């Protein structure tokens, strides 16, 4: 079900500035803003902590290393 909402001209101008491309809908812009405010789930937090630990331990590859390995 769709609905229509009323926004001020000032807010509409701000939404226009936040569009990543011309044909992006205001709904897409608003969803992007909402997603930015959602808390990360526990699984994501664990994965981020694991990634940080791997970096501290030196278990990572630089972009240059990956390019060289792939022949790019």
Using one digit for the tens of pLDDT, what is the confidence trace for 14-64? Answer: 999 999 999 999 999 999 989 877 888 888 889 999 999 999 999 999 999
Among 18, 49, 48, which residue's Cα sits nearest to residue 33? 18
Q: Are 46 and 54 in contact (CB under 8 A)?
A: no
Q: Are 32 and 18 in contact (CB under 8 A)?
A: yes
Residue 2 lies in a domain: no
- List, in order, residues 6 or more apart from 23 with CB less than 8 Å away: none
**Integer Cα distance of 22 and 3 in angstroms:** 22
pLDDT attached to residue 72: 94
pTM score, two decimals? Answer: 0.51
Provide the domain count of the chain. 1
Residue 47: give the domain boundaries.
9-70
Residue 46 lies in a domain: yes
pLDDT attached to residue 14: 95
């Amino acid at each position: 079900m769709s609905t229509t909402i009323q926004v001020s001209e000032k807010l509409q101008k701000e939404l226009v500035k936040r569009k990543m491309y011309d044909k992006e809908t205001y709904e897409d812009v608003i969803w992007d803003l909402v997603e930015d405010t959602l808390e990360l789930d526990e699984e994501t937090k664990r994965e981020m902590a694991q990634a940080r630990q791997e970096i501290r331990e030196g278990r990572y590859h630089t972009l240059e290393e990956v390019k060289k390995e792939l022949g790019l």
